[in-house]
Structure 1
Amino acid sequence: MEEKQVVVVVVINRGKDSVIMNKRNSVIVVLSLFIGVFGWSQTQRKDSTQVYKKRVLETSEIDFLTSYYTQDGDNAAVSGGLGTEELTDVTGAFIISIPLNDDDVLTIDAGISAYTSASSSNVDPFDGGAPADPFVASSGASSADGWVNLTGGYSHSSDSRNDIVSAKISVSKEFDYFSLGFGGGYTKLFNQKNTEVSVNANVYLDSWSAIYPVELRPFTSNGNGIANGLFLNNTITGNTNYNPIFTPFKDEKRNSYAVGFGFSQILSKKLQGSLLVDFVQQEGLLSTPFQRVYFSDVSDSFIDNFHLADAIEQLPDSRFKIAIGGRLHYYINEAFIVRTYYRFYSDDWGIDSHTASIEIPIKISDKFTVYPFYRFYNQTAANYFAPYNEHLSTSAFYTSDYDLSKYTANQYGIGVTYTDIFTNFQVWRFGLKSIDLKYNNYQRDSGLKASIISAGFKFLVD
């Protein structure tokens, strides 16, 4: 409006003064327009700087993970701490990460696992054609099964990228087990993103469909005991008056509550460290229903070469766990990095453990990295553990699961990673970003040996 008023004055005043006025006001008009446009431009630049931000995830990503696992040993918990632990497992999973906008990412994780197990096949060692034996897998239906899992996750990052909120929900199912989980977390970065603190919490609501050793099933309230066809059609040797201690579990639910805290700090240009603390409280059925136990003060009963169960595993209905760990990553040069890890674990079942590992990624080219690694682990035994046929029937709790025994384990491995940030290799609309291959060899001093080969492929979606 002011510019229009000046123009009117110029038109009314004629003569020399009017010419001077006209020139002056023309300058004023030009300057005013220049200042206005410049100011508007600066405001727009400032606003656009505030609005523009780098996306948390530029494009959708798909990870395909697969592994082949095999193990063997002589301390199967299914047959009371004695027998074959032979197992083979093949797993595949897809993880899809989808950017919903600049700040939000949706993640979908779907996995499936199929296994054959000589150990679990002996839940019913009499359903095959050969004589029952704890060191021989039964050929019946219990020798193989599968596991499926579906997890959905969501994360939101603030405009500054200094605050990250996440949430997830998961469902998994196995032949005798169902699990529903949900949780969330919060991460805060500050000190120019050199410091990071985080907290996360998860809840898992699980339920068993209890499956018991086949020779104990006739001893339920609706069973016919020693008059069952299993015993009538087979000859019991040793103690022919077989009479196990067995009562089915009334409550088949198990709940787990976990809280974790993390702290990470860039200590120098070459050194980064982090601390982790986790608390877990479990309640409900913590025993495995099909794991047998044998008592030293009860006479042994056999069918073929298979020792009939004296009882099943009995463990407390609560367990509290705490783990404290730390990582140090040191950048030596462009070719070498050293990654170290240590964790101390303790629970109220009497287990204390120490874990230490080291990994040394070696960059051999712009696209290939090789990383050898080693992991050491040892633990004390749970208060309720004893080997095969060494428990007393007067005990309230007992297990012969060697996962709860005292042992030391060593794990060696090597991995190789191929990375192509430009995704030159294309499969339809998918660009291959990286390939990760890894081999692990695991050995316990109890005799358990295992190997695992795993592979991961990351694709970007155009």
Structure 2
Amino acid sequence: MQKNIFIFLVFLGAALHGQETTYKKRVLETTEVDALFSYYSQDGANAAVSGGDGSEELTDVTSTVIVRLPMNDDDVLTLDVGISAYSSASSSNINPLDGSVNERASPFIASSGASQSDVLAHINPTYQHSSDDRNKIWNANAYFSSEYDYSSLGVGGGYAQLFNEKNTEVTINAKVYFDSWNPQYPIELRDGFFDDRVMGTGTYAPSFTTFDSETRNSYSLSLGVTQILSKRMQGSLFLDVVAQDGLLSTPFQRVYFSDKEDFFIEDFQLADDVERLPDTRFKIPIGGRLNYFINDYLVLRSYYRFYTDDWGVTSHTASLELPIKISSLFTLYPTYRYYTQTAADYFYAKEEAVSTLDYYTSDYDLSEFNAHQYGFGIRYKDIFTNAKLLSFGLKTIDLRFSNYDRSDGLNSYIFTFGTTFVR
């Protein structure tokens, strides 16, 4: 009898042990849906479309839906789909002459023509697989976006390895983008242009040639290490290597030369050329994050990045965020970000470049400047999802506002609203 009981207990223990070893917590327990909305507005007086002089007024409205689907215990499929619609005084002046008959052509007045607005749509699926012990994570992703004059197709993948009881994580990711232009040159540089309103000394006859290439390729490799340093502190370091080739110039951004005569239609100066930039670029950003848990109500999050490239641009970015938990459901997010950069070797203000140069641009994004960004946000988070919408529970609501001020006169603000629902 005792022998039979012993055998029964041995088999029972083995069965229970087998159940324990085969049980796995799902990577994602249930479907999650993020709905995101943003409104962006900017203004300035250095529009690249009109050679570094003109209105930079722009508004952009973006809506994005991100769905995370658990495929099984180990795999998660994420679908990121969005659409962005913008209206721009600057881009409208690709053709400043296509507005109504009562509009005067001027770099500071938006044309009401077709180039004033555009729509960008994108889709970004990602598939992620985790090992049984959750210490190894693989991912593969794709990307496609399209707008009137530009389309992009990308693929990528990555791997993450966790060590030291998940206190250390090392990641590597690689991505490749194959982009295509549908070049929209300034109206006065297109074949067959004629307008009897042209004013200037002599005859307007720019020595303009179209670009041979209409493609742009980008390749990136990202390395990262995240480490829990103590019970209160976590840090991470990252390094990116980015290489680009192809048409890196923007076909509709004008340049005016100091050694050429000026020609106008009304108040709008006609282009001497468009920007010409090298067909390769190599970029290296390197930086890190350090987060410190001060107490149950306060966390300090810091970030720094150094950037350099072979076009002569060097930049520094530093930011601080101080989440303040004011209750079990609400957290406040004051933020500050500082940015500074040197000018690219090929940047020239309006009418500073000469026609004998190989490369030139009057895009102030490649000029020397510094910028301050101030932000504030509030988050509602309920892990129990007490609020319901149909069969989905409301997990988070995020409201954020940021104001951006650049030393060259560009200023902007962005308002974002986001929600997360779980099924």
Q: With the length of structure 1 as denominator, give the TM-score of the two structures.
A: 0.90
Residue pairs, 1:58-69, within 5 angstroms: 58-69=29-40
User: Which residue in the other structure is 2:346 paired with?
Assistant: 384
Aligned match of 2:302: 340
Residue 7 of structure 2 aligns with an amino acid whose one-letter code is G
CA contact (8 A) 1:242 1:301 kept: yes
**Structure 2 counterpart SS, 1:332:** strand
Give the paired residue count. Answer: 421
Residue 390 of structure 1, CA deviation: 1.1
Q: CA RMSD in A?
A: 0.7
Query: 2:245 matched to 1:272?
Result: no
Q: Which amino acid aligns with 1:152?
A: P
Q: Distance in 2 between matches of 1:145 and 1:293?
A: 23
- State the partner residue of 1:432: 394
Q: Which residue in 2 is equivalent to 1:10? A: none
| Aligned residue type for 1:289 | P
Partner residue in 2 for 1:373: 335
Counterpart amino acid of 1:162? N
User: Distance between the aligned counterparts of 1:87 and 1:239, measured in 2?
Assistant: 34
230, 244, 253: which one aligns with 1:291: 253
1:420 maps to which residue? 382
More helix by share: 1
Q: Deviations over 1:165-212 (max 9, x none)?
A: 001011100110010000011001010111110000000000001110
Matches of 1:346 and 1:72 in 2, distance apart? 27
Which whole-Å CA distance do the structure 1 matches of 2:345 and 2:99 have between them?
A: 36
Question: Residue 318 of structure 1 corresponds to which residue in structure 2?
Answer: 280
Whole-angstrom CA distance in 2 between matches of 1:239 and 1:364: 68
CA distance in 2, matches of 1:86, 1:69: 11
- The secondary structure found in structure 2 opposite 1:36 is helix
1:30-41 counterparts in 2 under 5 A? 30-41=1-12
Q: Any residues of structure 2 matched to 1:81-160 within 5 Å, and which?
A: 81-129=52-100, 130-160=103-133
Aligned to 2:363: 401
| Letter aligned with residue 34 of structure 2 | D
* Equivalence map 1:197-276=2 (5 Å): 197-218=170-191, 223=192, 228=193, 230-231=194-195, 234-276=196-238
Matches of 1:235 and 1:172, distance apart in 2: 39
Over residues 412-437 of structure 1, what are the superposed CA-to-partner deviations in whole Å (9 max), with x where a residue is unaligned?
A: 00011000101111111111000011
Counterparts of 1:391 and 1:145, CA distance in 2: 31
CA distance in 2, matches of 1:210, 1:102: 47
Following superposition, the deviation at residue 45 of structure 1 comes to 1.1
CA distance in 1, matches of 2:245, 2:202: 38
- Measured after TM superposition, the shift of residue 238 of structure 1 is 2.0
> Which 4+ stretches in 1 moved above 4 angstroms?
none
Match of 2:291 in 1: 329
C-alpha separation between the residues in 1 aligned to 2:341 and 2:51? 20
Deviation at 1:240, TM superposition (A): 3.9
Q: Which has the larger radius of gyration?
A: 1
Partner in structure 2 of residue 172 of structure 1: 145
- In the other structure, the counterpart of 1:21 is none
SS of the counterpart of 2:49?
coil
Residue by residue, what CA displacement relative to the aligned partner does 1:211-267 show, whole Å, maximum 9, x if unpaired?
10000002xxxx4xxxx4x32xx3211234111121111210100000000001111
The corresponding residue for 1:457 is 419
- Partners of 1:419 and 1:192 lie apart in 2 by 28
Equivalent residues of 1:296, 1:392 under 8 A apart: yes
Letter in 1 for 2:25: K
SS in 1 for 2:295: coil
> Which segments of 5 or more consecutive residues in structure 1 lack a partner in the other structure?
1-29
Give the C-alpha shift of residue 100 in structure 1: 0.5
| Inter-partner Cα distance in structure 2 for 1:69 and 1:336 | 29
Partner of 2:267: 305
Whether 1:350 and 2:350 are equivalent positions in the alignment is no
2:244 to 256, 272, 282: 282
Secondary structure of the residue aligned to 1:399 is coil
- The match for 1:47 among 12, 18, 24 is 18
Check conservation: 1:240, 1:301, Cα contact below 8 A.
Answer: no
Counterpart among 17, 35, 45 of residue 74 in structure 1: 45
In 2, Cα distance between equivalents of 1:145 and 1:300: 31
Q: How far is the alpha carbon of 1:131 from its aligned partner? A: 1.5
1: CA distance between counterparts of 2:201 and 2:183? Answer: 27
Q: Secondary structure at the match of 2:50?
A: coil
> Equivalents in 1 of 2:38, 2:175: separation in Å?
26
More deviation, 34-43/111-120: 34-43
Q: Deviations over 1:116-164 (max 9, x none)?
A: 0000000000011211000000011110110000011000011111100
The one-letter amino acid of 1:237's match is M
Q: Secondary structure at the match of 1:78?
A: helix
1:424 partner SS? coil
Letter in 2 for 1:377: Y
Structure 2 alignment gaps of length 5 or more: none
Helix, strand or coil for the counterpart of 2:190?
helix
Contact 1:441 1:450 in 2 (8 A): yes
Q: Provide Cα deviations, 1:333-373, integer angstroms capped at 9, x if missing partner.
A: 00100000000000000000000000000000000000100
Shift of 1:32: 2.9
The structure with more strand, counted as a fraction of residues? 2
Q: Distance in 2 between matches of 1:392 and 1:454?
A: 43
Distance 2:197 2:28 in 1: 66
TM-score when normalising by structure 2: 0.99
Distance 1:279 1:115 in 2: 31
Share of identical aligned residues, percent? 57
**Partner amino acid, structure 2, of 1:414:** F
